[in-house]
């Protein structure tokens, strides 16, 4: 299987699905000739024309709202938000509309829409090009939310998202775009929405997370295995709504010591729900308090390099937290 970059996996998923299904199209700011500010839609306009790789006016509520209309009309829009930081103007369309269309119409209407948005920092983007907005949308019934960490999952989950009959927020990590590359099958396959994935087996501690920080966890785990003989069990949630309860409980039970990691700030994040689920179901199987290692409770990371570094998770921070938990 060819090894391709995470962003290439995303691009390929869109391209292949647009070839397969003419209802599928992408829309967003600069997705046309420029191919997106990160290049995720590069070549799509050349191949599919201006309408199916549609440069929109600079207006996110319209991007979401027009996509919702098109989805209700039977199309399969993929709406790109240039940065997830800029999807907040579309909140009302996402939460009040997309999430509630099927429910409020008692299944008469549906909204098969994908909204792609790059999350995460570490690219010197400053406050507004680095955020993780998961906690804002998490907990809104009617939405599905995925956040792949690997190229394989990125392609498979994006194909699943496009084919899903309900609205899916697809949070791609901009730091992963070119840093992460792995084996990705050519052609069609899907990764099921709602299923977590064990990235690494281990018996000492369990790390549960999603997106970029898992790569730090994997690196730290290798070092801890080598240096300390500590074996970490690592679970990639992949889908953050609906959460894979069984997968979470199984992974937590495996070691009895849980560290939850995400880049979104700690309070009110997805990790709180993961902790709550475990403490609701597995309390007596735990050998240590449930810990979370997350972004600090600060509005967003600064652009100056020391400040950014101070804010971001990295392998060393993960390693220290994992070691500390193992020793508990």
* Binding positions for its own copies, rule: CB under 8 A: 61, 85, 88-89, 91-92, 95-96, 99-100, 103-104, 127-128, 135-142, 241, 243, 264-265, 267-273, 275-276, 278-283, 286, 288-292, 297-300
- Is residue 310 flagged as an active site residue? no
Whichever of 233 and 257 has its CB closer to its own copies, that residue is 257
Q: How many residues does the chain have?
A: 328
Q: Binder to other proteins among 8, 311, 312, 319 (CB under 8 A)?
A: 311
Question: By CB under 6 A, which span of 12-20, 81-89, 148-156, 296-304 interacts with ligand TPP?
Answer: 81-89
Q: Pick from its own copies, ligand TPP, other proteins, none: which does 303 bind, CB < 5 to 8 A by kind? A: other proteins
Residue 99, token pair as written in the block: 């999430």
Locate the DSSP E strands across the chain. Answer: 3-5, 24-28, 53-55, 76-80, 114-119, 144-146, 168-173, 181-183, 197-200, 205-209, 232-236, 239-241, 258-265, 291-295
Q: Count Cβ neighbours within 10 Å for each residue of 87-119 and write b for 16 or more, e otherwise.
A: beebbebbeebbbbbbeeeeeeeebbbbbbbbb
| 60 binds ligand TPP per the rule CB under 6 A | yes
Closer residue to its own copies in complex, CB, 81/234: 81
Q: How far is the CB of 269 from its own copies (least distance, A)?
A: 6
Query: What residues does 236 pair with on adjacent strands?
Result: 197, 209
Residue choice 2, 3, 19, 33 for contact with other proteins (CB under 8 A): 33
Q: Of its own copies, other proteins, ligand TPP, none, which one sits near residue 34, judging by CB under 5 to 8 A according to partner kind?
A: other proteins
Which positions from 266 to 305 touch ligand TPP by CB under 6 A, shown as an x/- string? ----------------------------------------
Of the residues 129, 215, 233, 262, only one is catalytic, namely 129
Contact 293, 325 (CB under 8 A): no
How is 255-297 classified by DSSP, letter by letter? HS-EEEEEEEESTTSHHHHHHHHHHHH-GGG-SS--EEEEE-S
Region 208-227 residues binding other proteins, contact defined as CB under 8 A: none
| Interaction between residue 166 and other proteins (CB under 8 A) | yes
Among other proteins, ligand TPP, its own copies, none, partner that 108 touches (CB below 5 to 8 angstroms by kind) = other proteins
Beta bridge partners of 197: 236
CA distances from 289 to 268, 284, 311 (A): 18, 11, 24
Q: Is 58 in the site for ligand TPP (CB under 6 A)?
A: yes
The correct pick among 2, 19, 34, 201 for binding other proteins (CB under 8 A) is 34
Joined together, the tokens standing for residue 275 give: 């902790």
Cβ of residue 94: shortest distance to its own copies, in angstroms? 9
The whole-angstrom separation of Cα 49 and Cα 41 is 12
By beta carbon distance, the residue nearest ligand TPP is: 86
**Please, which residues bridge with residue 275 across strands?**
none
User: From the list 7, 70, 221, 290, which residue makes contact with other proteins (rule: CB under 8 A)?
Assistant: 70
Query: Using an 8 Å Cβ cutoff, are 178 and 10 in contact?
Result: no
- Binders in 74-103 for other proteins, by CB under 8 A: 74-75, 77, 85-86, 88-89, 92-93, 96-97, 100-103
- Can you give the C-alpha Rg of the chain in angstroms? 19
Of 279, 303, 315, 317, which one interacts with other proteins (CB under 8 A)? 303
Residues near other proteins (CB under 8 A), total: 78
Q: By the 8 A CB rule, do 171 and 301 touch?
A: no
Closest listed residue to residue 213, CA positions, set 255, 266, 162, 252: 266
Which residues are identified as catalytic? 129
Residues lying near ligand TPP in the complex (CB under 6 A): 29, 58, 60, 82, 86, 89
């Amino acid at each position: 299987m060819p090894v391709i970059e995470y962003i290439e996996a995303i691009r390929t998923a869109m391209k292949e699905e647009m070839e397969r299904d003419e209802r599928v199209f992408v829309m967003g700011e600069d997705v046309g000739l420029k191919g997106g500010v990160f290049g995720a839609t590069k070549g799509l306009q050349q191949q599919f024309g201006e309408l199916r790789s549609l440069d929109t006016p600079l207006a996110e509520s319209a991007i979401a709202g027009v996509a919702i209309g098109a989805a209700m009309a039977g199309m399969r829009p993929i709406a790109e938000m240039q940065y997830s930081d800029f999807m907040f103007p579309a909140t009302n369309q996402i939460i009040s509309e997309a999430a509630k269309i099927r429910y409020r119409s008692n299944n008469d209407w549906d909204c098969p829409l994908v909204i792609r948005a790059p999350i995460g920092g570490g690219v010197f983007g400053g406050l507004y090009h680095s955020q993780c907005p998961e906690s804002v949308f998490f907990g809104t019934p009617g939405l599905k939310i995925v956040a792949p960490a690997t190229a394989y999952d990125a392609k498979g989950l994006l194909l699943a998202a496009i084919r899903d009959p309900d609205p899916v927020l697809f949070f791609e990590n901009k730091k992963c775009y070119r840093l992460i590359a792995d084996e990705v099958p050519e052609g069609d396959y899907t990764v099921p929405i709602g299923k977590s994935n064990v990235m690494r087996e281990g018996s000492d501690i369990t790390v549960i997370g999603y997106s970029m920080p898992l790569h730090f966890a994997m690196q730290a785990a290798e070092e801890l295995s080598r240096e300390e003989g500590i074996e970490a069990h690592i679970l990639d949630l992949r889908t953050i709504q609906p959460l894979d309860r069984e997968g979470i409980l199984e992974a937590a039970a495996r070691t009895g010591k849980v560290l939850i990691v995400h880049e979104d700030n700690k309070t009110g994040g997805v990790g709180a729900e993961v902790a709550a689920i475990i403490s609701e179901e597995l309390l007596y199987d735990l050998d240590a308090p449930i810990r979370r290692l997350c972004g600090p409770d600060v509005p967003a990371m600064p652009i100056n390099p020391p400040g950014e570094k101070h804010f971001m998770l990295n392998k060393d921070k993960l390693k220290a937290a994992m070691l500390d938990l193992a020793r508990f």
